[in-house]
Structure 1
Amino acid sequence: MHALELVTNSRSRFFNQQIRHLEAGGVRTTTLAVPGDRDYGGGGVDGRSPVDYLRFYPTVLRHSFRDYDLVHANYGLTGPAAVAQPSLPVVLSLWGTDLMGPFGPVSAACARLADAVVVMSPEMASRLDGECHVIPHGVDLDRFAPAPPAEARAELGWNPSASHVLFPYPAGREVKNYPRAERVVDLARERVDGDVEFHTVSGVSHERMPVYMNAADALLLTSRREGSPNSVKEAMACNLPVVSVDVGDVRARLDGVSPSYVRDSDDGLATALADVLADGERSNGREAAREVSVQRTNERLREVYRDVVADA
């Protein structure tokens, strides 16, 4: 099977992880990325100009007449180019903000025209009219695994006597709501003895992220919208406690994981974060993370591919 993969950002570590495992399972892939650079502080569509998306379609159209079995549109804004080509069956994967953000109507319209739709959570599925497959991005349990926190902190040069809170996103990415995370950490500092250091981490290679997960005492998530946030699943795989707002599938993922908390208010988040930092315990999240291992989720995605090609 040969799949034409469309994506907004070909450097996305989760997309590239998916591609590696699809190819390991026997699927050949060719990737086309939307032209232009994403600018998290910029305007336009997904930080790009709408012209970039218009320029994308002729490239997709030319490729659609080549020797592919299907086109897989990863992220809703690649959907229009996928469903507008006349030759190939379409799998559309929606990641979260593409459906629940300002361009949600575009994603929903493309979902009605696609041959199969993949979403990250039941909440996303409830927003669509038709049938869809709930297949969150998987976590690589070989890469993300528990390691001694003291060793990870020494490797990063973090203060060994402080508590460390991890926010693994760019501070300027509006949907991740960094200002709220900063407020929560400031409130938590007032409730714990000792130093609390807040680490915003972005631009780090995927291979290095487990070091940060194991060095931290808690992961804090304050996003306005999510589908199935990968950072939460990766933290679980490292037994890193998570404190999060109730967004996407986080509550379901953290069911039975302790210590970890889902809270709505700043005060509730700060109290939960302070409790995690005061206890200093790792979580039991790794066992729950096995349900969303990258091997399991990619096998389910390959099943979707096989069904779409068989029905074409």
Structure 2
Amino acid sequence: MRVLFVSSGNRGKGLNPIIQLQAKSLEEKGVEIDRFLIFGNGIRGYFFNIFKLRKHLKKHSYDLIHAHFGFSCIVAQLAKGRLPLLVTLMGTDVLGLKDLKGKMSFGNKIILWINHFFGIYVYKSVIVMNSSMKNMFWRRKGPTYILSNGVDTTLFQEIPKAEALNHLGWDPQIDHFIFMAKPNRPEKNYPLALDAVKKLKENGYPVELHAVFQEKSENLKYYFSAATALLIPSFHEGSPNVVKEAFACNCPIVFTDVGDVAENTADLEGCFMAPYDPEGFSNEIIKAIEFGKNKGRIKGRERIKKLNFDKEIVAEKIIQIYKELSSNSLD
């Protein structure tokens, strides 16, 4: 089976690491994956890629197209001709992009409306990250699959905390917390984590917050292993991969009620859901500190097995969807 992955290349480093992991997992299962990267910003920038993709498809033969995220999916839909198309919607493309006050601009509302229109009325087969996203598409007639991205449990694994702290050069006498995104991404709500940690410092807790981004995937295990907890103060998420990466490294988590995080961490000791105010969030961080002192680490890798989050299992499920989509296109 030969599949064309279509997604944004605006990061400047090729495919998004999550999508790249998915591609490699499928390749290991025998699927031939080509990659078509979209370059350009805004509706106008993406529009010109429709013609580029059509030209590419005339020169190459595929069994189907798999597009990831918002406007990349629209480009694929408008360029695909008769080829079957599977789209994966990742989070903000369905949930919207909010500012630091939790508000959505008029422009982002328009983008959200366009993505919803295509998701409900145009795409034949859609993958979403969680049940809330699926519920937004209740009017769809085609299949809607809930399938979050997998995690590489060989790349992400717990290492001794002392070794991790030493590798990063972090003070072993204080509690370290990690925020795994660019602080300037408004939907990730970094100020809440910052204010909560600041409040703890004011109350005498020896704590430090680290914003981790643009770090190589193979180095992230050190951060998860050295941290007392991962902080997720986001306004919205789909199915954040950082949760699965934290699971793989048995790292405790403090999070707001976003995406499928509460569902995936349900009844898992060492994971704490927090409100959207600094004091309430800091109180949950204190619980994480106490958990670290008394019990150490969570049983995250057990949760990965329970929820089938390993990349190998996710790849097998995607291949099954490919087969169904290819079969239906012949009917």
Q: TM-score, normalised by structure 1?
A: 0.92
1:248 matches 2:259 = yes
Deviation at 1:192, TM superposition (A): 5.8
Aligned to 2:100: none
Q: What is the deviation of 1:190?
A: 4.2
Aligned-residue offset at 1:264: 2.1
**SS of 1:31's equivalent?**
strand
**1:161 aligned to 2:170?**
no
Give the whole-Å Cα distance in 1 for the aligned partners of 2:211 and 2:200: 16
Q: Is the 8 A contact 2:7 2:15 kept in 1?
A: no
CA distance in 1, matches of 2:85, 2:204: 52
Q: Does the alignment pair 1:284 with 2:299?
A: yes
The 5 Å alignment of 1:91-106 reads 91-101=86-96, 102=108, 103-106=111-114
Q: Which residue of 2 aligns with 1:230?
A: 241
Q: Give how far 1:268 is off.
A: 2.4
Corresponding residue for 1:295? Answer: 312
- CA distance in 1 between counterparts of 2:201 and 2:291 reads 14
Cα offsets for 1:232-266 (capped at 9, x unmatched): 11101111000000000000110121111112232
> What percentage of residue pairs aligned between the two structures are identical?
30
Partner of 2:67: 73
Structure 2 stretches of 5 or more lacking a match? 97-107
In the TM superposition, what is the alpha-carbon distance from 1:49 to its structure 2 partner? 3.5
User: Does structure 2 conserve the Cα–Cα contact (< 8 Å) formed by 1:189 and 1:274?
Assistant: no
Asked if 1:29 is matched to 2:46, the reply is no
- 1:4 equivalent in structure 2: 4
Q: 2:198 aligns with which of 182, 186, 210?
A: 186
1:126 maps to 135
Distance 1:49 1:187 in 2: 39
Amino acid at match of 1:50: I
Partner of 1:51: 44
Q: Which moved more, 1:93-102 or 1:105-114?
A: 105-114
Aligned partners of 2:222 and 2:125: how far apart in 1? 37
Alpha carbons 2:5, 2:33 under 8 Å: kept: yes
In 2, Cα distance between the equivalents of 1:91 and 1:70? 8
Distance in 2 between the 1:239 and 1:219 partners? 10
8 Å contact 1:94–1:107 — kept in the other structure?
Answer: no
Distance 1:178 1:53 in 2: 29
Partners of 2:117 and 2:8 in 1: CA distance: 18
Find 2:187's aligned residue among 159, 164, 175. Answer: 175
Instruction: Tell me if structure 2 keeps the 8 A contact 1:177–1:222.
Output: yes
* DSSP 3-state at the match of 1:207: helix
Report if aligned partners of 1:115, 1:308 keep a CA contact under 8 Å in 2. Answer: no
Counterpart of 1:54 in structure 2: which amino acid?
F
1:209, 1:77 → 2: CA distance? 29
The residue type equivalent to 1:91 in the other structure is L
| Post-superposition CA distance 1:115-134 (Å, at most 9, x none) | 21000111110111223100
CA drift at 1:55:
1.7
1:275-300 alpha-carbon deviations (Å, 9 max, x no partner): 21233221122211222111111111
* CA offsets 1:75-114 (integer angstroms, 9 cap, x no match): 0211221111222111010000111113322222222322
5+ long unaligned stretches in structure 1: 37-47
Q: TM-score, normalised by structure 2?
A: 0.87
Distance in 1, Cα, partners of 2:323 & 2:129:
20
The 5 A counterparts of 1:147-158 are 147-158=159-170
1:110 correspondence with 2:122: no
- Is 1:305 the counterpart of 2:326? The answer is no
**Partners of 2:129 and 2:147 within 8 A in 1:** yes
2:243 alignment partner AA? V
Q: Secondary structure at the match of 1:220?
A: strand
Q: Which amino acid aligns with 1:20?
A: K
Equivalents in 2 of 1:207, 1:50: separation in Å?
Answer: 34
Measure how far apart 1:63 and its partner are.
Answer: 2.5
1:63 aligned to 2:56?
Answer: yes
